[in-house]
Structure 1
Amino acid sequence: MKTTDHGNGDVRLTGISKAYGSFTAVHPLDLTVPQGSFFALLGASGCGKTTTLRMIAGLEEPSSGTVHLGEQDVTALPPYKRPVNTVFQSYALFPHLDIFENVAFGLRRRGIKSVKKQVEEMLELVQLGEQARKKPHQLSGGQQQRVAVARALINHPKVLLLDEPLGALDLKLRRQMQLELKRIQTEVGITFVHVTHDQEEAMTMADTVAVMNAGRVEQLGSPADLYENPRTTFVANFLGTSNLIEAEIDSRSGDDLVLKAGDGKLVLPGARCSAPATAGGRVLAGVRPEKISLTHADDAGAIPENRNRVTGTIAATSFIGVSTQYIVDSAVCPGLEVYVQNVDHDARLVPGADVVLHWSPAHTFGLDAAQSPLAGTTGPAGLEEETAVR
């Protein structure tokens, strides 16, 4: 079912910013959310993502800039006059009303008398038709969340805002609800803007993700593009895990850059290097742990010649069911991480074993070495935390 005609359902932020005294929560940013898309604002606590969402909702007044919903400038409008609805982590259902009346609330408030058909449609959409006469406390957390979504959607907003909506759910239920929210968004076809600190959540549901850090958008793109082609160390580390190897640009070979890393060489596709590609320049050569193969040093002769390779010693292993994770210390980079699928396990790959890490040059990306290789990782040297605002 399509709830209504949402031809102007995009969100456009122009030069939008928010400061609290001397603290800037959101630096001036321009952002366009395509109409009918599932858009995620992703970042750590304090990055400004919730403040940005609240400015779209009208719950925070921007320090500068404008908010457009379709062709309408809503910057000066109060929340109740904006064609948006917000779903919060807390659900905020009315405990004394049954599910039917919770969903009908917005319609009754606007003086609409005949609500039965619309409410039943919405409950069907969120697959809660049989729960209509139960009270919120009789439903699970995931069911309550779906009621909150139905209550918001029944008002036919141009945009649905979701502020950490799955944060209170356990892991298994959260994953089920990720798929459920994506199904609902696809079915109703309106714009969803979703705030989360959970990388998996953003990548599972969103068509487009804006990765935020310290009040700025670090990178914008599809989940696959952000993961495969990060342009900053923050994005490389915050979206999954990256091995970042310090190297120097030695020469060019066709469209590839040849890098010196310790005593060895690595090949990097020139198109995947976001650093200045000048001879003698420093870069961080990145590769994701699951792209790397691990071979015992005794079998190194069987590795094809056209692979990037690094030698090292296994420092630790961790069996996690689907795969085994290895930490490998190497002269070019300590603590390299490798994820190996548990298909054909080599019993020799134990702590202390000498190994060769190798991967296709096409899976290598290059970042500017002027950045901290720890940006975006957990811990005091990694994520930039702001304590004043989320």
Structure 2
Amino acid sequence: MTTLATAATAATVEFRSLRRAFGTTVALDGLDLTVRPGELLALLGPSGCGKTTALRMLAGFEHPDSGEVLVDGEDITRVPAHRRDAGMVFQSYSLFPHLSALDNVAFGLRMRKVGTAERRTRAGELLDLVGLGDKGGRFPHQLSGGQQQRVALARALALRPRVLLLDEPLSALDAKVRLSLREEIRRLQLELGITTVFVTHDQEEALSMADRVAVMRAGRLEQCAEPAELYGRPATAFVAEFVGTMNRIPGTLDGDTVSVLGQRLPVDGEAPGPGAVDVLVRPEAVRVSADEEGDGRVGATAFLGAATRVTVRLADGAEIKADLPTHEAGALVSGARVSVSLPDRPVLVAARPS
């Protein structure tokens, strides 16, 4: 581990006012974002939001129409990809089929004229680091998908880059392997202290792996925050609904308060004009209790382990999902009348779809 620990000092990465259009399609629309030294930052968003374009600009595979990319204060916007001191892992592995795992890891070192003995030693150390020390002589077709991706990760780290770039590296793997490998990537990232930018459309991956998550939409940054803050205090309705499950409950907005489910609650953040709105509430915040005079009826239930998701249909046709402790949900049989309420705290509201 001593040799590997001599990786370059963790870098600060800055995207400044990045703009990029492909014809009439705007991929990035003034992106401003800073990645702190040694952190793992996830770029999260739907397809076409600009997250991969931003990563490719950091890698040097794309260039902005305007704006800058900086690493430790140095403008690298026009620096060629091969001179950027960044390691990249793709979702497709991109291993050389005619090279062994060891030679794949050592390939970049070979291109940099590192001596045979040193590059084989360093490649062996990296294979040990990713748990493949005994697989160095195997070719890619002799390795599983998860093992191939570990080799790709080791290869990206071989040159001791200042920044590690991960472009949806787990999307081609099955669920069990994905879980194992994301834990392994996080362990390695923390162990090496390397600044890492990770692109994904999978919110569970982003929330479980990242120090901070940057949610993007239509080329713009909606919010960048630690996972708990992003989930618990989303800055916009888009973030609230994109990250985790969210109820839309009909309400009426009047000033800085909203009437919903017979309650009047303060509004958190920006709100549309007065009138009919939707109140955004997480299922775990919804309270459900048996009530013969209640306005709702229990519908479907879904066992989630310690919690059970109960769907309640209100008299006006609205459906609300509530995550209740399983031992409480067991008493709420299908068709039972219930009342639904919300905690007395600020809520997000959004314009009701027309």
What is the TM-score of this pair, normalised by structure 1?
A: 0.83
Q: How does 1:183-332 map to 2 (within 5 A)?
A: 183-248=187-252, 259-261=258-260, 264-268=262-266, 273-275=268-270, 284-298=278-292, 311-331=295-315
Aligned 8 A contact 1:312 1:354 in 2: yes
Alpha-carbon distance in structure 2 between the residues aligned to 1:277 and 1:58: 40
Conserved 8 A contact 1:42-1:198 = yes
Contact 2:162/2:194 (CA < 8 Å) preserved in 1? yes
Match runs of 1:91-106 below 5 Å:
91-106=93-108
Structure-2 separation of matches of 1:181 and 1:169:
14
Distance 1:244 1:187 in 2: 42
- The 8 Å contact of residues 8 and 160 in structure 2, kept in 1 or not, is answered as no
Write the distance in 2 (CA, Å) between the matches of 1:325 and 1:297: 18
- List aligned pairs for 1:140-219, cutoff 5 A: 140-219=144-223
Deviation at 1:60, TM superposition (A): 0.8
> What secondary structure does 1:343 align onto?
helix
Shift of 1:31: 0.8
| Aligned partner (choices 327, 342, 365) of residue 347 of structure 2 | 365
The CA distance in 1 between the partners of 2:230 and 2:276, in whole Å, is 22
Q: Which amino acid aligns with 1:206?
A: A
Which amino acid is the alignment partner of residue 274 of structure 1? G
- Taking the aligned partners of 2:51 and 2:314, their CA distance within structure 1 comes to 38
- Report Cα offsets for 1:249-299 as digits up to 9, x if no partner: 568xxxxx753226x11434x6xx102599x6776433211232322114x
Equivalent residues, number: 350
Which structure 2 segments of 5+ residues have no match?
none
Could you say which residue in structure 2 is the equivalent of 1:340? 324
CA 1:229–1:281: 2 relative to 1, 3 Å: farther
The match for 2:24 is 22
Q: How far off is 1:11 after superposition?
A: 0.9
Distance in structure 2 (CA, Å) of the matches to 1:20 and 1:331: 48
Q: 1:54 Cα deviation (Å)? A: 0.7
Instruction: Name which of structure 1's ranges 108-117 and 317-326 shifts more when overlaid on structure 2.
Output: 317-326
CA distance in 2, matches of 1:24, 1:319: 42
Give the aligned CA root-mean-square deviation in angstroms: 2.5
Aligned to 1:304: none
Measure the CA separation in 2 of the matches of 1:329 and 1:97: 60
Cα distance in 2, alignment partners of residues 110 and 182 from structure 1: 28
Give the deviation of 1:341 after TM superposition: 3.4
| 2:7/2:161 contact within 8 Å kept | no
Deviations 1:64-88 (A, max 9, x none): 1011111221111111011112110
Closer, same or farther: CA 266–4 of 1 in aligned 2, 3 Å: farther
Task: Find the aligned partners of 1:188 and 1:36 in 2 and give their Cα distance.
Answer: 9
Deviation string 1:128-183 (CA, Å, 9 cap, x unpaired) is: 11111122222221111111000000111111111110000011111111111100
For 1:259, give the aligned amino acid. Answer: V
- C-alpha distance in 2 between matches for 1:332 and 1:215: 38
- Tell me the equivalent position of 1:120: 124
Distance 2:29 2:62 in 1: 14
SS at match of 1:39: strand
Q: Is the 8 A contact 1:8 1:69 kept in 2?
A: no
| CA contact 2:310–2:329 (8 Å) conserved in 1 | no
Amino acid at match of 2:204: E
Are the equivalent residues in 2 in contact too, given 1:8–1:70 (CA < 8 A)?
A: no
2:65 maps to which of 63, 80, 86: 63
> 1:341, 1:313 → 2: CA distance?
18
Contact 2:210 2:227 in 1 (8 A): yes
Given that residues 28 and 218 in structure 2 are in contact (C-alpha distance below 8 angstroms), is that contact kept between their aligned partners in structure 1?
A: yes
Contact 2:297 2:337 in 1 (8 A): yes
Asked whether the equivalents of residues 10 and 194 of structure 2 are also in contact (C-alpha less than 8 Å), the reply is no
Would you say the 8 A contact 1:245–1:332 is kept in 2?
Answer: no
Letter in 2 for 1:95: P
Mapped partners of 2:316, 2:239: distance in 1: 22
User: How far has the Cα of 1:8 moved from its partner?
Assistant: 5.9
Q: State the SS of the aligned residue for 1:173.
A: helix
Deviation at residue 9 of structure 1 after TM alignment: 0.7
Deviates more, 1:316-325 or 1:95-104: 316-325
> Which residue of the partner structure matches residue 10 of structure 1?
12
Match for 2:67: what amino acid?
A: G
Q: After the TM superposition, which of the residue ranges 31-40 and 325-334 deviates more from structure 2? A: 325-334
> Structure 1: which 5+ residue stretches go unaligned?
252-256, 301-309, 374-380, 382-390
Report the Cα offset of residue 4 of structure 1: 3.2
Q: Distance in 2 between matches of 1:33 and 1:275?
A: 27
In structure 2, the partner of 1:355 is 338
Instruction: Tell me, in whole angstroms, the C-alpha distance in 2 between the residues paired with 1:249 and 1:344.
Output: 32
**Partner Cα distance (1:343, 1:169) in 2:** 35
Matched, 1:80 2:82: yes
